[in-house]
Structure 1
C-alpha cells in the first residue's frame, strides 16, 4: 500500500509531503513512475513531493495518514532507513573517529564535516565518508595507514560536481594539514592519495593508493536495492541536468569504470565486490551498447 502524509514540510518556497510504501521499494518506485514523479525526488526510503501534487496522488490511490502514522508504517515494513544511513545522524560518530585520528584537532574535523554536510550533496555526503573509512579499515584488517584515512576525509571535501574537485580537495588538504602542523611528508602523501581518486588508477605496488581507490569504489559492489539507492542519490546530485544529459554523462562514467582492468586492485576488494560491481555497472548500460563504447574522454560527472 502507498501512503502519504499532509504537506507540512517546508523547502524551496513550498511545502512537501512524504510518499512511502509499507510493502516494497519496488511498489513505491512503480507508483512514483506512473505518477511522473522524478527519481531525484527519492530520498532513501520515501519520495518528497510538493503540496501541488498532494490531491492528485491521493486520487491515484495514496492513502492519507498523519506524519506519525506514516513513520510507524515505514518502520513496521522494515523499509525505514537506519540512522547511520542518514547524513545528519553521523556528525558525532565521525567526529569521534576524527579525534582518534588527529587528537587535538577537533575544529579541523568539524570544518570537514560541515563540508561533507553541504545541502547540495546527496551521495557525496557523510554517509559516503563513513563508507570509505570503513571499507579502508576492512581492506587493511582494521589498521590503515594514517595518510589513507586522512585522504579519505579530504578526497571529496571539495565537491561541486566539477572536473577539478579532486585537485581542489588535494590543495585543501595541503593547506589545512599544514596549518595543523603535520609533517610535510605526511601532507604530501595525503594530497597524492586524494588526487588518485580522480581516476582510480593507482600504480602497481602502490598499496596505499590501491586501498583508498578500492574503498572509494566499494559502493559499486552493493546489493541491487542498495545500488539503486546509490544511483538515485547520484541522480539527485545532478538534478540540474535533464534526463538525456544525465544519461549521457552517466554512461561515460560507467563505461570508464568498466574499462578499468582490474576495477579493484587489492585482492580483498576483488573477492568482496568485483563480481557484484560488474553486474551492477552492466545493468546500467542500455541493451546493445558495448561496455567499451565511449569509454574514456573527459569526465562528465561524478560517479
Structure 2
C-alpha cells in the first residue's frame, strides 16, 4: 500500500513518528454564536484562561506518554481551529484535526440549503467542503484535516445522516484520508455504516467504528472487525448509564487480543478538554473522564488482564499510524 504523511496542526508528520495516539478526543469545542453573544457561557473564566487550562491539560497528556491526539471536533460540534493553533504552539504534542459534520440526522440549515443549491448545479456541497478542508486547508490557518468524521445514532441511517455518510465516503476516496464514526453499538450501527461505505467503494481497512467500547457484545465487534474495519474503545472514563465500566471494557479488549484482533483496535476517551457543550457540574460526575486515564490507569489494567506489550504497541502506535497515513487513490 502506498502511504503518505499525516496532516497535523503543526504540519505533516511521517505516520511512524506519531507515537502513542489517542484516536477520538475533543480538545476545544466552542460555539461561535455563544463565544460572540454569550461569552460567559463559552468561557466562564475568560478565553485566555480557557486556552491556558487546555494547554496545561495537554501537557499532562504529553507527560503521561501520549504523543498524538486525534481531535474529531467537526462542523456541528463547534470546531475552532485557530484556538487549536494557538494551543499547539505551547505544547509539544501532535494534533490531527477532522472534517465532517456531527449530527444524527440533518445538518444545520445553512448546510442543508447550500447542499440543495449545489445539487441544482450537479455538485455535492458536503463533499466540496470536506475535500477543501483536507486538500486546501481550513480557513486561513494552513491546517489540513487528516480524517473525516460522520455520525449515526440509535435511529440508524436517517435521510440526513445517509447523505453525510455518502459524502464522507466520496471525500475519503478522493483524498485518501480515513473515516472515523460515531456509532450506536447497541443497535449494531457500525455494520450498517460499513455496508454503506462498502457500497460507495471505500476500503474498509480505512474506517474506524467509534464508540464500539460501549458494548460487550464480542460477536458484534468481531463482525465489524472481520470486514477489515477497526473498532474504537474510545470512551474510557466516561461511565454513562447502560455502558460498560472500565474493567468490562478492559476485559473485552483482552479477550479480542487473545483471539488475534489486536491489529483492529484503537482506544481513546472522547474527552472534552474545553467545551461550552457541558458545564462543570456535569463533568464533575465523571472524574476519570480525562485523556490521561488510558496511559496512567487503563494500560496497566490491560497488562494485568494479559494483553502483551506487542499488542499494546499495536493498539496505541501501529494501528493509528496505519490509519492516519494518507493513501493515494487507487493504491493497493
**Structure 2-normalised TM-score?**
0.29
Larger Rg: 1
- Between Structure 1 and Structure 2, which shows a larger proportion of strand residues? 2
**Structure 1-normalised TM-score?**
0.31
- Between Structure 1 and Structure 2, which shows a larger proportion of helix residues? 1
**Relative contact order (C-alpha < 8 Å, sep 6+): which is higher?**
2
